[in-house]
Amino acid sequence: MAIDAGVLHRLTKGTPEDAWRVIINKAVEIASKPLAAGNAPSEITKRDREIGALDHFLSSSGWDLWQAFGDTAERTSDRLVRWWAEPYSAKAVLILDGLSLRELPWLLQGAKERGFMLHEVTANASELPGETNEFARALGFGSRSQLQNNGGGLAHSLQPAHTECLDMAWKDCAGLIDAAPNWVFWHHWPDSKVHDGSGAGQGLDILTRDAAEQLSSDDFWAFVERLATGRRLVITSDHGYAATGYFPDADGDVGQFLKKTFSSGRSKAGSGDTGPFVPPVAMQINSPHGTHLMAVGRWKWKSQGGYPTMTHGGLSLLEVLSPFIEIS
């Protein structure tokens, strides 16, 4: 699927800030169209390919934009801190671990059907690399697990707040929400499902069906309603995921290099050889989390035990963009 000529002009002639604004807005536009459970698996695959055209631009001719990504696209962690400072009398953040733009339609449709008011729908940048602990640290937590059982402490950036982090049924989660004015609730889904299905053929199909069921369920929306009652609520994520099962195979020298550098992953801490390839298949990215080598674009490669069909940590749009939905 080709990029529209007008979009391509803005990507190549504007500043990095302009280019990233166009890319993020286009990705949100593609991802947020309404979905029906019946055709969701095929439609999500189609949208994945459509966003893949933007990934192709970023990995083939616009790769310099990845160096500017961390400085020009607002990070979810920064956006949350900025939002937390808004003068709402009570507020809540629901972090759905690993939620990508693919799942956005279920949230938008569910909110509308159930009488919520939508205040903002956008996408922000994950940390680089797009990993759970990097996001937790960016918010001032030692790790995701620190939030469990109100253990968030007094050093994080979303003060004051009652915190929780677990992987329980939505109904049980709803039962935990008490009258504390401010809440930060980090749920392990869908990341737990991403890694469960990452070795099972086309895991995206399984996850798409699960997302349709979970995010359309009465139990999920009863939980959201508990969080949003008397509070302004943001639903977001720490990172997305790449549906690597649909990526083309990197063969020959490229495949060997990627296997040697990343094994079965998408990033590696530290500096190192990015290879002789133009356009690059790996880039060195310096972020607040140190220097990392990161795989660029949509490639998979043969690795011991098989390369996962869903993963995160590299440089592709659906793994580094997180939905940001503000409702009441």
Rg of the chain over CA atoms, in angstroms?
19
The predicted pLDDT at position 217 comes to 98
167, two tokens? 């992987």
Contact 217, 111 (CB under 8 A): no
The predicted pLDDT at position 100 comes to 98
Contact 137, 155 (CB under 8 A): no
The predicted pLDDT at position 304 comes to 84
Taking Cα atoms as reference points, which of 171, 40, 177, 176 lies closest to residue 109?
40
The predicted pLDDT at position 201 comes to 55
The predicted pLDDT at position 6 comes to 85
- Print burial letters for 13-44: b (CB count within 10 Å at least 16), e (below 16): eeebeebbebbbebbbebbbeebeeeebbebb
Interatomic CA distance for residues 93 and 77, integer angstroms: 11
Torsion of CA 267, 193, 226, 108, to 10 degrees: 80
Half-sphere exposure of 202 (CA within 13 A, CB side): 8
CB under 8 Å to 309, separation ≥6 — which residues?
197, 198, 199, 200, 201, 202, 203, 204, 243, 244, 245
Question: Omega before 87 cis (within 30°)?
Answer: no
213-218 — which CB contacts under 8 Å span 24+ positions?
A: 213/37, 214/170, 214/189, 214/190, 215/103, 215/106, 215/107, 215/110, 216/37, 216/106, 216/109, 216/110, 217/170
Question: Omega before 308 cis (within 30°)?
Answer: no
What does each of the 328 residues of the chain score in pLDDT, given as a tens digit? 678 888 888 888 989 999 999 999 999 999 999 999 999 999 999 999 999 999 999 999 999 999 999 999 999 999 999 999 999 999 999 999 999 999 999 999 999 999 999 999 999 999 999 999 999 999 999 999 999 999 999 999 999 999 999 999 999 999 999 999 999 999 999 999 888 765 555 689 999 999 999 999 999 999 999 999 999 999 999 999 999 999 999 999 999 999 999 999 999 999 999 999 999 999 999 999 999 999 999 999 998 888 999 999 999 999 999 999 999 9
Question: If you search the block for the tokens 């309603």, which residue do you land on?
Answer: 225
Q: What CA–CA distances, in Å, run from 217 to 111, 186, 224?
A: 12, 19, 11
